[in-house]
Amino acid sequence: MSQTAPKKNLLLLEPDYMLRHTVALTARSTGLAEIQEAPSLKTAEEILRRSAFDGLLLALGNEDQGLELVEQLRAGQTQSAAGTAVAVMVSQCNAARAQKLRLVGVNQIILRPFKVKTLLGTIQGLSANAG
């Protein structure tokens, strides 16, 4: 009997219900990962205080609302390992913003608009990087 690796546990912060729910259901049903959904920054912060994750996929606002979650993670202020893989979704990104995101430890930047398939590929990558 072959054993499959346990699914990775990822946190998805996305305010849009349809996108968040579609991505989470598809990731679960295809065996990519278990997804904990967070509709708001406040909810994501509460979840990170009580649970550990193998990766984070975060929607950032135009003023980088949500970036403090990455900073807390990197500082060891969450239940997750400080080196946990992080991908962010943004509407726009110039060189200065990309540099800022890299400096706080963001592993991947996804530009909106994107296809659900793009997020699923990112989830697959986060799961693989989680070891």
Retrieve residue 79's tokens.
């239940």
Does the structure show a pLDDT above 70 at 110? yes
Retrieve residue 99's tokens.
């540099």
pLDDT for 73 equals: 96
Helix (H) or strand (E) holding 87: strand 85-90
Place domain 8-127 in its CATH homologous superfamily. Response regulator (3.40.50.2300)
Does the structure show a pLDDT above 60 at 2? no
pLDDT for 87 equals: 97
Q: Is 9 helix (H, G, I), strand (E, B) or coil?
A: strand
The fraction of the chain above a pLDDT of 90, given in percent, is: 85
> In the chain, what are the domain boundaries?
8-127
Q: Where are the alpha helices (DSSP H) in 6-106?
A: 17-29, 41-50, 67-74, 95-103
> Exposed e or buried b for every residue in 5-28, given b needs 16+ CB within 10 A?
eeebbbbbbbeeeebbeebbebbe
pLDDT for 97 equals: 95
Does the structure show a pLDDT above 80 at 35? yes
Helix 116-129 and helix 17-29, axial crossing angle in degrees, nearest 10: 50
- Mean pLDDT, rounded, of the chain: 92
Do the Cβ atoms of 48 and 78 come closer than 8 Å?
yes
Predicted structure pTM score:
0.92
pLDDT for 33 equals: 95
